[in-house]
Structure 1
Amino acid sequence: MVGPERPQFVLFGSSIVQYSYSNQGWGAILADIYARKADILLRGYSGWNSRRGLQVLDKVFPKDAAIQPSLVIVYFGGNDSMRSHPSGLGPHVPLPEYIENMRKIALYLKSLSEKTSVIFLSAPPVNEAKIREILSDTLGDMGRTNEACQIYSEACLELCKEVDVKGIDLWRALQQRDDWLNACFTDGIHLSSEGSKIVVKEILKVLREADWEPSLHWKSLPIEFADVLPDEVVSSDRKTTSPIGEADYHGYMELEETNRAS
């Protein structure tokens, strides 16, 4: 481990999480926004469902760890929602089991520490035509439909209310864009940079509005080594300086501005 100790944000889930550092993904954007403020840790496993996530929960999040995460963002649901295969193989998890798996995951994570907060991401929509165009030759009929994603998304959000964790409705959030079918995905399932920006926008909104103590919104967290700045930026008046560490250099301020306007 390296120091100083920072808040840890863990992203836990299936391929939407594993690929969140690709294609200017939402994990990479969060790491950029929280530079010098929090460590964004990736625990994503492509192809997994809630059943697999539950199996390794105590290995990814051991209760005897010296440091527990400040925030865990969880995504399972898209693979669970896929049509069951006659062979019994595949990632499909029946809806009642999915709900119970996610309930167990939520309660376990909440028990890690009093300071561990949890956000669930619901299943996003899919572009069924694009899936058939790009993935059917290699993966066959994946049995993934927008209708099924909605059912699992709504079940996830209802569970969030029951167990008192924050839930983000990705199924509806992505479809707020008129061109979501083409703009939000790389292959009909996984998120493009535009789709990832929507995810980050929704996460930042939750973090800004949550009454968690301490606040985990990036503007509320201290800048690491703010008192040890070797250089400063000369301001536009050429007479004063501004600390480099406090500059909004990451270029994602429009996500916050969009949130305030909505």
Structure 2
Amino acid sequence: MRPKIYLFGDSITEESFDIGGWGASLANHFARTVDVVLRGYSGYNTRWALKVLDRIFPEKPDDDDSESEPIAVTVFFGANDACLQDRCSGFQHVPLHEYKHNLHSIVSFFKKRWPDTHVLLITPPPIDEDARLRFPYVENKQGLPERTNEAAGHYARACTDIAGECGVPVIDLWTKMQHCPEWKKEYLSDGLHLSQSGNQLVFQEVIRKLRDEGLSVEALPVDLPLISDIDPNDPMKVFQ
């Protein structure tokens, strides 16, 4: 069977199969070699993600060899954990120490269930606070952004710390995006979610990290003969 890459995260992952999204670009990039499987849950934080891991990725019976373990999983949480506790989206907030514990537990879950699977962490993106006021998700009576870039930075650094502790690769999206002077307009659509340019940045970074782990299109076999391998004079030969 064709191997799989799971994309596990919040709305930035759920929306990644939109037109121009980073998940859709991955699926196109790995066509004929890998099935890219979406497991994105809008609004979720690591506390909720940890609660539903077994439901999303159920353990197979020992005698079930119908499907092999995925070759990679991206884990992209933190944007909702970093909501400020005293603001309008405070119900999504997860304290920083718990976020680190939860993220560590999520990585450990995958490593225990699928020892050979590559786990790739992605930090939350930076936040354009002015844009968050223009695009509120819930009623905002305070008139204050429910997230700040400073808080997102703390969670991004925590994510990179956990990657180091767990020995897995990480994309520091918070830092990477801010290398661009116009990052707010270039990479974000509403101060949090990704524009098409932001999606392409994530796509390119994921491809680069997977390649570093030996997972490239060139290194993966196609699941059936390519048209270039079929002899026009004897088309059925290649299928024998």
TM-score using structure 2 length:
0.86
Structure 1 residue runs without a partner (length 5+): 233-262
Counterpart of 2:179 in structure 1: which amino acid? Q
* 1:26 paired to 2:29: no
Paired residue for 1:258?
Answer: none
Paired residue for 1:129?
Answer: 130
2:7, 2:151 → 1: CA distance? 24
SS in structure 1 opposite 2:121? strand
Question: For this pair of structures, how many residues does the alignment match?
Answer: 223
Structure 2 residue runs without a partner (length 5+): 62-66, 232-240
* 1:152 paired to 2:151: no
User: How far 1:219 moved relative to its partner?
Assistant: 2.1
Question: Given the alignment, which residue of 203, 208, 213 partners 2:211?
Answer: 208
| Equivalent residues of 2:80, 2:93 under 8 A apart | yes
| Equivalent residues of 2:83, 2:89 under 8 A apart | no
Paired residue for 1:178?
Answer: 181
1:95, 1:220 → 2: CA distance? 38
The percent of aligned pairs where both chains have the same amino acid is 36
Counterpart of 1:98 in structure 2: which amino acid? Y
User: How far 1:228 moved relative to its partner?
Assistant: 5.4
- After superposition, residues 158-237 of structure 1 pair within 5 angstroms as 158-210=161-213, 215-227=214-226
User: How far 1:102 moved relative to its partner?
Assistant: 0.4
User: How far 1:86 moved relative to its partner?
Assistant: 7.5
TM-score using structure 1 length:
0.79
1:113, 1:40 → 2: CA distance? 17
Q: Out of 59-68 and 146-155, give the one that drifted further.
A: 59-68
- After superposition, residues 1-262 of structure 1 pair within 5 angstroms as 5-64=1-60, 66-85=67-86, 90-135=91-136, 138-140=138-140, 141-210=144-213, 215-227=214-226
| Equivalent residues of 2:90, 2:146 under 8 A apart | no
* Pairwise CA RMSD: 2.1
User: How far 1:195 moved relative to its partner?
Assistant: 0.3
| Equivalent residues of 2:87, 2:146 under 8 A apart | no
| Equivalent residues of 2:87, 2:145 under 8 A apart | no
Moved over 6 A (4+): none
